Amino acid sequence: MNLNHIMNALNLDRFIYYEDIMTKGKSVTHVIDKEWCKGCGICVHFCPKQVLELDSNGKVEAVRPEDCIACMLCELRCPDLAIQILKQQEGENDSQK
């Protein structure tokens, strides 16, 4: 299952911002629903690596995605389910390519 399949399954194809980063054999994707994000900053506060900031519209964005350790705190703390972390090990799903 690739990212598009996941997005279709979750019906998350509106106002979605994707930030894909591959580091140390791991791919981390930040999936942010800009419509659902209310800019409360909880995820920004809890991120241990200062990956997230609010943009000029008051919506969260991943400004340093290469520093993300995929700890999931942002996703777990968001009260509006507006941010999701997808992680994949290098080589996963190669058979489906």
Q: Does 68 bind ligand SF4 (CB under 6 A)?
A: yes
Query: b or e along 67-90 (b: 16 or more beta carbons within 10 Å of the residue's beta carbon)?
Result: ebebeebbbeebeeebbbbbebee
Binding marks (x or -) toward ligand SF4, 5..34, rule CB under 6 A?
------------------------------
**Tokens matching residue 46:** 């809890």
Q: What is the DSSP letter of 44?
A: H
Give dist(CA 45, CA 35) in Å, integer. Answer: 20
Closest approach of ligand SF4 to the CB of residue 71, in Å? 4
Binding segment for ligand SF4 (CB under 6 A), chosen from 2-10, 14-22, 42-50, 88-96, is: 42-50
Which of residues 7 and 40 has its CB atom nearest to ligand SF4 in the complex?
A: 40
**Binding positions for ligand SF4, rule: CB under 6 A:** 37-43, 46-49, 51-52, 60, 68-74, 78, 80, 82-83, 85
